[in-house]
Amino acid sequence: MEALFLTSSSSSIASPTKLLHNRRDWCALVRDKRRLSPTWCRVGGDGRNIKPERSIMVSSLLKDRGQVLIREQSSPAMDAETLVLSPNDNGRAIEINGVKTLLPFSGAAKVGSKEGLGIVSFLQGKKFLITGSTGFLAKVLIEKVLRMAPDVGKIYLLIKAKNKEAAVERLKNEVLNAELFNTLRETHGASYQSFMLDKLVPVTGNICDSNIGLQADSAEEIAKEVDVIINSAANTTFNERYDVALDINTRGPGNLMGFAKKCKKLKLFLQVSTAYVNGQRQGRIMEKPFSMGDCIATENFLEGNRKALDVDREMNLAIDAVRKGNQDQEEAQKMKDLGLERARSYGWQDTYVFTKAMGEMMINSTRGDVPVVIIRPSVIESTYKDPFPGWMEGNRMMDPIVLCYGKGQLTGFLVDPKGVLDVVPADMVVNATLAAIAKHGVAKTDQEPEINVFDNSNTQRLMEYMSEAEKNEFGFDVGNINWKDYITNVHIPGLRKHVLKGRA
Ligand SMILES: NC(=O)c1ccc[n+]([C@@H]2O[C@H](COP(=O)([O-])OP(=O)(O)OC[C@H]3O[C@@H](n4cnc5c(N)ncnc54)[C@H](OP(=O)(O)O)[C@@H]3O)[C@@H](O)[C@H]2O)c1
């Protein structure tokens, strides 16, 4: 997982090294033999200290389907049917007239609000604008913030909906009702809904629209109040129509940054990106932000004539193609093909990662003096332990193959036995995100731009700033994960319980 911090004046980020897989190889499986780890954390910005994590040998993980199933059944703590919520001792509920209600929360005290990075104390009273809250990752983030810092200020959630009522309905159905929030539900008992609706403010909007589609009154309030913006909204379909993917993943972050610049108290803009914005870079890859026009094909000398990527031209190309098309099925396929063709010609694997990379370029080129953190997780999978192991949503990335194999629909598949799984649990992504926010969530500076002033923090270095209590509650040391155990006893049971919902 990469974490880039762009200060108000940085023109580049120091570059620790990393090893990257080529996602085209096979969903999450990696063929690059040089790759040591299933997922990674970055260390200091000086290129030192890359920490190899344990590989999961895919062949040993999945070669014996029977073995996987037997292990599941014989693991009482993590069995799919008996996944138990970890007891939440951050807050206590009492019963009044048979109804659970809330007692004061002690999470902050437990972590020690001022120690280490001061994550909890940073969160207290802060106001957030979060996009993508009906999606997988942002839910895990919202849950963690509300559990660890219930005295956080408002969290505005940008939700696509035709009106305010519809947005509230989506919030209730898709967020509040999610099983992920069971711990909070337990803690708050009868007050759960009122607590959640007091903290979470749904606002209708769309990052593809100018001013992110906000109504004037919401826009004014949020611009006045918000401290941190987190952009988790995306279209994650690898072969989406080019115009659609560009709109959400490239133009969207630009629109949101446009709005961010109007936010008077804004301390940080955090973009959730993906490790695969590195496209077809090979071997050790330097961590650095994208500048407008960067092009992997050119870096790799795949293009003899040093092709330049022009993001505006790409957007115009897509608009023109739509204009000329007749909107039928065949035309939709052409727009998908166009995305893949453009992505590959510039050195990215697919439309998703290409448009996400261009989204980073938009942010970097328009941010002015807005402090920005870019988090680049690899494939995000089920929670490792927080708020309980195995929670996830959706059936994508490596999971369709895992499920087909588990159901016996796929009896085998070719894979490099030395390949590794490049995944990171969702709760660790969230912990790293919150740590990065606390570390870098400082108000805008009025400093004159300086050349090469940058913060080299990355995920590993970030951990060094954390207190022991913070490491316990907000840890993201993927090196400590027993990956085989995680996949077989946490992730696969979680998949069965939360995605298949008990269906065979
Ligand atoms: N999942 C992974 O393995 C992975 C790995 C690395 C990075 N990431 C990044 O992590 C972030 C979150 O991923 P995820 O897995 O949580 O995605 P997800 O489950 O597909 O959720 C996407 C979210 O974005 C929202 N959205 C889409 N278009 C929008 C628009 N025009 N305006 C406002 N909201 C919009 C969706 O809202 P609707 O419900 O209304 O469509 C949904 O809430 C993304 O930025 C993704 O690129 C994901």
Tell whether ligand 1 has an atom less than 6 A from the beta carbon of residue 353. Answer: no
Tell whether ligand 1 has an atom less than 6 A from the beta carbon of residue 135. Answer: yes
Chain mean position to CA 425: 10
Summarised one tens digit per residue, pLDDT across range 261-288 is 999 999 999 999 999 999 998 877 777 8
Indicate which residue of 199, 267, 336, 356 is catalytic. 356
DSSP string computed for 332-368: HHHHHHHHHHHHHHTT-SSHHHHHHHHHHHHHHHH-T
Q: Tell me what pLDDT residue 192 has.
A: 98
Are 2 and 422 within 8 A, CB to CB?
Answer: no
Q: Tell me what pLDDT residue 243 has.
A: 97
Q: Tell me what pLDDT residue 284 has.
A: 74
The DSSP call for residue 386 is S
* 134 CA distance to ligand 1 middle (Å): 8
Tell whether ligand 1 has an atom less than 6 A from the beta carbon of residue 271. Answer: no
Q: Which atom of ligand 1 is nearest to the CA of 380?
A: 3
Tell whether ligand 1 has an atom less than 6 A from the beta carbon of residue 379. Answer: yes
Q: Tell me what pLDDT residue 446 has.
A: 44
Position 77, amino acid: A
Are 100 and 94 within 8 A, CB to CB?
Answer: yes
Q: Tell me what pLDDT residue 16 has.
A: 30
Q: Tell me what pLDDT residue 329 has.
A: 82
Phi-psi region of 167 (alpha: psi -120 to 50; beta: other; left: phi over 0): alpha
Q: Which atom of ligand 1 is nearest to the CA of 394?
A: 19
Give the number of other Cβ atoms within 10 Å of residue 209's Cβ: 14
DSSP string computed for 158-199: EE--SSHHHHHHHIIIIIITSGGGHHHHHHHGGGHHHHHHHH
Tell whether ligand 1 has an atom less than 6 A from the beta carbon of residue 434. Answer: no
Query: Which residues have CB under 8 Å from 34's CB, separation 6+?
Result: 19, 283, 284
Whole-angstrom CA distances from 210 to 254, 256, 328 are 10, 9, 27
Residue 156 among the catalytic residues: no
Are 155 and 199 within 8 A, CB to CB?
Answer: yes
Residue 376: name the closest of 420, 432, 438, 446 by CA.
432
Q: Tell me what pLDDT residue 442 has.
A: 74
Residue 352 among the catalytic residues: yes
Q: Which atom of ligand 1 is nearest to the CA of 423?
A: 3
Are 488 and 78 within 8 A, CB to CB?
Answer: no
* 104 CA distance to ligand 1 middle (Å): 33
* 157 CA distance to ligand 1 middle (Å): 13
* 231 CA distance to ligand 1 middle (Å): 9
Helix (H) or strand (E) holding 494: helix 492-494
Alpha carbons 502 and 14: distance in angstroms, whole number: 47
Q: Which atom of ligand 1 is nearest to the CA of 276?
A: 6
Low-confidence ranges of the chain (pLDDT < 70): 6-114, 302-306, 443-457, 504
* 272 CA distance to ligand 1 middle (Å): 9
Tell whether ligand 1 has an atom less than 6 A from the beta carbon of residue 274. Answer: yes
Q: Tell me what pLDDT residue 102 has.
A: 41
Q: Tell me what pLDDT residue 147 has.
A: 98
Pocket test for ligand 1, best of 21, 137, 180, 393 (most atoms within 8 A of CB): 137
